[in-house]
Amino acid sequence: MAEVLVLAEHTADGEVKKVTLELLTAARRLGSPSVVWTGPGADAGVARLGEYGAEKVYVADSADFSGYVVAPAAELLAQLVASVAPAAVLVAGTTEGKEVAGRLAVKTGSGVLTDAVDVVPGDGGPVAEQPNFGGAITVHSVVRTGTPVIAVRPNAITPEPSAGAAALEPVAFAASNAAKATIITGRIPAEPSARPELTEAQVIVSGGRGTGSAEGFKIIETLADALGAAVGASRAVTDAGWYPHQFQVGQTGKTVSPQLYLAVGISGAIQHRAGMQTSKTIVAINKDAEAPIFEIADYGVVGDLFTVVPQLLDEIAKRKSL
């Protein structure tokens, strides 16, 4: 069975991000999953990878991954594509993952598919499912040239455990001078937050212009904390400076696919929908019954958010005290 390369997303101390387990679950359908691990931490992460079916773990423990941006990872994958001839390469559909995918496709003369929400085997190679035009159209695509490079949206596939050998295989790697052209000059650690990371969260509470102001937006944080959720925002909110840009959901923000997405005071413009349409359950609170968000909502409440959300908070508090 041909190998399927999975680029691991992980921390330097070896914590494997959930999206990697999702990619392994998809890779098992296509062939024999081999994880590609960049930098340190593989010894700590290998057991987790084995639990989700990794047969091999290629480890390139090179300092070249920490000082530069994404180019070294793309070079390493190109090196492995040449030596292993995998059936496909799967990467996380994060901003970085998509850039790696694009670079790898160019290096290997292959087709690339991004924003996949599912990947299944097909007669002509892996078939990727992609929502388009804010989810109005679903496309099934196959790469017809080279090695399929597929970027899969975080949270789109449910990770399923399955034992794998997870044999560690060291890989010699030195990034080229071209890959080192852009260097990382500094890192600013994110403010520590008790909230889940936006793209990995199971529940997201997102606020829109309907919150009225930065002060009004605080009700979104309160609701998120009551539900143990991440906070998201529409572009209207981030452009107005009511909430930081890294929390923007949509075409020019983050793409999310949680189990539950609460859209509060958000109209549901197509550019917002493009980033959240694949959420499993969508709940909308909006005072305008004609707001487009209700077209895709599973549940909707027509009402003023400053009346509805406090009632919701009371109800959550009551249930928690049971």
Ligand X SMILES: Cc1cc2nc3c(=O)[nH]c(=O)nc-3n(C[C@H](O)[C@H](O)[C@H](O)COP(=O)(O)OP(=O)(O)OC[C@H]3O[C@@H](n4cnc5c(N)ncnc54)[C@H](O)[C@@H]3O)c2cc1C
**Cβ proximity of 172 and 63 under 8 Å:** no
* 298 touches ligand X (CB under 6 A): no
CA distance 28 to 151: 16
Query: Edge-to-edge strands of the sheet including 230-233?
Result: 230-233, 203-207, 260-264, 281-286, 299-302
For the CA atoms of the chain, what is the radius of gyration? Answer: 21
- Exposed (0-12), middle (13-18) or buried (19+): which is 218, by Cβ within 10 Å? middle
Q: Given the complex with ligand X, which of 93 and 275 has the nearer CB atom?
A: 275
Task: Look up residue 284 and give its two tokens.
Answer: 């909308």
* 209 touches ligand X (CB under 6 A): yes
CA distance 139 to 145: 18
3-state secondary structure (DSSP) of residue 242:
coil
Quote the least distance from Cβ 14 to ligand X, whole Å: 33
Q: Please identify which residue in 94, 199, 234, 279 interacts with ligand X, judged by CB under 6 A.
A: 234
* 262 touches ligand X (CB under 6 A): no
Q: Which stretch binds ligand X (CB under 6 A): 94-102, 145-153, 181-189, 235-243?
A: 235-243
* 291 touches ligand X (CB under 6 A): yes
* CA quadruple 153, 201, 56, 150: dihedral, nearest 10: 0
Quote the least distance from Cβ 304 to ligand X, whole Å: 4
Quote the least distance from Cβ 271 to ligand X, whole Å: 3
Q: Given the complex with ligand X, which of 81 and 223 has the nearer CB atom?
A: 223
Report the residue closest to ligand X, judged by CB. 250
What is the three-state SS of 183-204?
A: ECCCCCCCCCCCCCCHHHCCEE
* 273 touches ligand X (CB under 6 A): no
* 246 touches ligand X (CB under 6 A): no
* 107 touches ligand X (CB under 6 A): no
The two beta strands, 203-207 and 167-170, are unpaired
* 210 touches ligand X (CB under 6 A): yes
Q: Given the complex with ligand X, which of 248 and 279 has the nearer CB atom?
A: 248
Task: Mention every residue, 6+ apart, whose C-beta is less than 8 A from residue 120.
Answer: 29, 126, 127, 129
Quote the least distance from Cβ 285 to ligand X, whole Å: 6
Q: Given the complex with ligand X, which of 8 and 301 has the nearer CB atom?
A: 301
* 39 touches ligand X (CB under 6 A): no
* 265 touches ligand X (CB under 6 A): yes
Site residues for ligand X per CB under 6 A:
208-210, 234-237, 248-253, 265-267, 269, 271-272, 275, 285-288, 291, 304-306
